[in-house]
């Protein structure tokens, strides 16, 4: 991952900058009158790599739109979720009671519907700040909502307005709140800038081969009450996910699969708040550094993650300190507790 504006952004940021400059060209100088014809905004269909997946976008205009960050349930009653198989990046965090929730980051593809949408946690603040765009959740502890509204993003919360949300007749609360990415993107307002490039990506035909890489076929990652497993599928060159012992299917019937899986060991600390059941709400410490394992192309490599501030994206380096290049495609970032008994074979 890389930094937001003000810090270096490598690789794909250069391509994104060219697109943005092209969109800005053609503007007139000062002194225009109301009767003068203003130039139309320049668009481009030049293929460019997607900043969050590295996959080439045939329509370069897609690269210029904002990311949509949506908080998604991952409890047993919230599955199968809708739309998350279209997310460029899926970030999984532990919440109270040892279950997990996702921040689904959409950019290169749209999804309709997406859900069930759930409440914000303080962990989310440092996760979405670096990505920008739109941040969507169903509500939450007032202090967490206050923190979210202070972010330089467009915040869309069901607790404030039903705009942007839909409520399927066959669903019940609290699993009834859904949305769609196209509607949310139209609400971006002043926060419609594209996301930064979050990773370095391999070029066509390049092999995942950072320092310390060894073969891998599967990984088991426990969080507490929720646990998942990924298994490498040679035919699709992806890691297929199972959750709590079952293939993790989406509402469309397909199994979640990722080109890359980042298992980022993360410390959790208690907040002063409790959920309605009396469980202490924890917060993941995602600013700092720690150990990780990255899976790609049927291989694993030990890594070091570093995130110096909330508005910086996370970098991942290998045993000799070089940035780790990922396979173009979707990425799962798992944030299990630092002491979790993770097994990679």
What pLDDT shows up at residue 259?
98
Number of Cβ atoms within 10 Å of the Cβ of 287: 15
What pLDDT shows up at residue 276?
81
| Per-residue tokens: 97 | 């009671």
What pLDDT shows up at residue 42?
56
What pLDDT shows up at residue 97?
87
What pLDDT shows up at residue 255?
98
| Per-residue tokens: 82 | 């809708």
Query: In which residue are the tokens 């049927």 written?
Result: 298
What pLDDT shows up at residue 214?
98
Within 8 A by CB and 6+ apart from 161, the residues are: none
What pLDDT shows up at residue 277?
82
Number of Cβ atoms within 10 Å of the Cβ of 79: 17
pTM of the model: 0.87
CB 107, CB 131: distance < 8 Å: no
Separation of alpha carbons 239 and 219, rounded Å: 9
What pLDDT shows up at residue 32?
36
CB 314, CB 208: distance < 8 Å: no
What pLDDT shows up at residue 44?
59
Separation of alpha carbons 48 and 54, rounded Å: 9
What pLDDT shows up at residue 151?
97
Q: What does the pLDDT look like over 55-77, one tens digit per residue?
A: 999 999 999 999 999 999 999 99
Domains, the chain: 66-185 (3.50.90.10), 200-344 (3.50.90.10)
Question: What is the sign, positive or negative, of the torsion defined by CA atoms of 139, 142, 148, 151?
Answer: positive
Query: Which regions of the chain are under pLDDT 50?
Result: 1, 3-41
Q: What number of CA atoms fall less than 13 Å from residue 284's CA on the CB side?
A: 30
């Amino acid at each position: 991952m890389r930094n937001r504006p003000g810090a270096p952004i490598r690789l794909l940021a250069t391509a994104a900058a060219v697109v943005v400059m092209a969109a800005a060209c053609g503007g007139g100088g000062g002194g225009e009158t109301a009767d003068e014809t203003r130039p139309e905004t320049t668009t481009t269909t030049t293929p460019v790599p997607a900043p969050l997946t590295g996959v080439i976008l045939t329509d370069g205009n897609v690269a210029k739109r904002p990311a949509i960050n949506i908080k998604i349930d991952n409890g047993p009653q919230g599955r199968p979720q809708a739309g998350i198989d279209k997310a460029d990046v899926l970030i999984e965090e532990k919440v109270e009671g040892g279950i997990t929730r996702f921040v689904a980051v959409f950019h290169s593809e749209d999804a309709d519907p997406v859900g069930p949408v759930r409440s914000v946690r303080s962990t989310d603040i440092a996760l979405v700040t670096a990505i920008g765009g739109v941040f969507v959740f169903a509500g939450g502890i007032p202090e967490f909502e206050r923190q979210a509204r202070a972010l330089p993003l467009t915040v869309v919360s069901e607790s404030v307005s039903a705009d942007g949300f839909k409520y399927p007749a066959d669903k019940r609360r609290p699993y009834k709140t859904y949305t769609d990415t196209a509607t949310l993107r139209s609400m971006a307002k002043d926060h419609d800038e594209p996301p930064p490039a979050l990773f370095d990506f391999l070029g066509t035909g390049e092999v995942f081969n950072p320092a310390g890489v060894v073969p891998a076929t599967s990984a088991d990652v426990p969080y507490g009450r929720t646990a998942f497993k990924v298994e490498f599928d040679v035919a699709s060159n992806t890691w297929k996910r199972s959750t709590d012992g079952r293939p993790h299917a989406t509402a469309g019937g397909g199994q979640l699969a990722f080109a890359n899986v980042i298992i980022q060991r993360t410390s959790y600390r208690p907040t002063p708040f409790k959920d309605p059941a009396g469980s202490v709400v924890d917060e993941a410490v995602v600013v700092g550094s720690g150990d990780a394992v990255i899976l790609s192309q049927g291989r694993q490599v030990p890594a070091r993650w570093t995130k110096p501030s909330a508005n910086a994206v996370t970098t991942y380096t290998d045993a000799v300190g070089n940035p780790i290049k990922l396979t173009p495609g979707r990425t799962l970032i798992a944030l299990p507790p630092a002491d979790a008994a993770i097994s990679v074979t």
